[in-house]
Chains A and B, each alone.
Chain A
Amino acid sequence: MGLFFVVSGFEKLISPYENFSYVVQGYELLNNSLSDIVALVFPWIEFIVGVFMALGLWLKLSLRVLWAVIVIFIFVLAQALLRNLPIKDCGCFGELFSLPPHVTLIFDSCLLVIVSFLRRFLQKTLTLSLDNYFSLTR
């Protein structure tokens, strides 16, 4: 799961931020300046949280941030669908692959369930994590 967000965030980070800003503008929630800020900041959050999750470092915090991020995704997609905005591709994964918003909504809902499950059973989630390694060595 961590690797998924690593790849998604990395793809946004290596292409001009204007591309993702355009995607954000398409959801018609923020003005251009705020869309630019989101486009500059969000991919870093996605990438770094993905890395930390993949490594199992600060896992509790990473899962909490990821849960909040996915909830925001779901809200943004749901309002776009309710308002019938002309978005054919969610823009979430750049050129990697294309998913229409309603499919992405289902996908994100599944991710939310998985993250919620990982948070609920955190002790088991921590097995084989770097957090576990550091806690055992205190």
Chain B
Amino acid sequence: MKHKHNHHTPKISKSTSTFAVLVICVAVVVTARVFTRHAAGQVKIKAAQNRVKGNPKGSIRIVEYLDFQCPACARGALMLKSYLQKYPLLIFLEVKYFPIQKIHAHAMTSAVYAECAARQNKFWAFQDVLVERQAQWAKLISAEDVFKNMAKESGLDISKLESCLADERVRALILNEKVAGKALGVDSTPTYFINGKIAVGTKSLTEELDKYLGASH
């Protein structure tokens, strides 16, 4: 007995369907990229006034997004300090906050202390101590006492510091910077923008800087 097969010709073949799916995939991704880049272009970035260093007219403008508890950020901060000492007229550095609280318990607290130091024009002195001793305080369950001692060492006025620590606008500023960073494509730390070009991690930072500094020798 012959079985009747329910044959019908599909409107498009498998290879055409495959091609169409691939084209749609590429179109979706390209459209999403254009949209996110356009959205990033609308983000107004406020200059971090007390967290800048170097020559404002320098040809190498670096914006650094960091998390103070991130080991690679500590290495990057020390590298940039060294670059700035070597090329003070060429480099202009601006630091922005990007605390990654889900993996770093003290990310926000350290950023708050750093911002409070910035408000007393002591950001760089405080950051130096923070990154040099990162390995010690990162392991602690609570680092507040250590941060307070570091603040004293850096010359901060403790009563002003206490007021600042209680000010919710400080956290809001830090979170806003993080949101702005995300809009620009920052996903991890350290992320650097060197004359607008993104470089993630210290290897990429040195590669990118060497392109400029190699050319200037």
Contacts and interface: CB of A to CB of B under 8 A. Distances in A.
Contacts of B207: 32
A134 B29 contact: no
A14 B36 contact: yes
Given A16-B200, A57-B17, A134-B10, 7 more contacts: A10-B32, A32-B203, A48-B22, A52-B21, A55-B21, A98-B103, A134-B14
Contact of A95 (B32, B71, B187): B187
Contacts of A51: 21, 25
Contact of A23 (B185, B188, B198): B188
B188 A22 contact: yes
Interface stretch (A64-72, A73-81, A84-92, A113-121): A84-92
Given A18-B198, A18-B204, A91 B188 contact: yes
A26 B33 CA distance: 25
Interface of A: 10, 13-16, 18-19, 21-23, 25-26, 32, 47-48, 51-52, 55, 57-58, 86, 88-89, 91, 94-95, 98, 130-131, 133-134, 136-137
Contacts of B152: none
B7 interface: yes
Given A18-B199, A32-B203, A98-B103, A13 B29 contact: yes
Nearest to A89: B103
B21 A133 contact: no
A58 B185 contact: no
Contact of B29 (A16, A23, A47, A52): A47
Given A14-B32, A51-B21, A25 B9 contact: no
A19 B185 contact: yes
A22 B201 contact: yes
Nearest to B186: A19
B188 A19 contact: yes
B103 A88 contact: yes
B182 A95 contact: yes
Nearest to A137: B10
Contact of B25 (A18, A22, A32, A48): A48
Contacts of B36: 14-15
Given A19-B187, A22-B204, A51-B21, A14 B103 contact: no
Interface string B1-39: 000001111100110011001100100110011001000
Contact of B102 (A10, A55, A98, A134): A98
Contacts of A19: 185, 187-188, 191, 200
Nearest to A52: B21
A13 B33 contact: yes
B10 A14 contact: no
Nearest to A138: B7
B10 A58 contact: no
B2 to A, nearest CB: 18
A34 B9 CA distance: 46
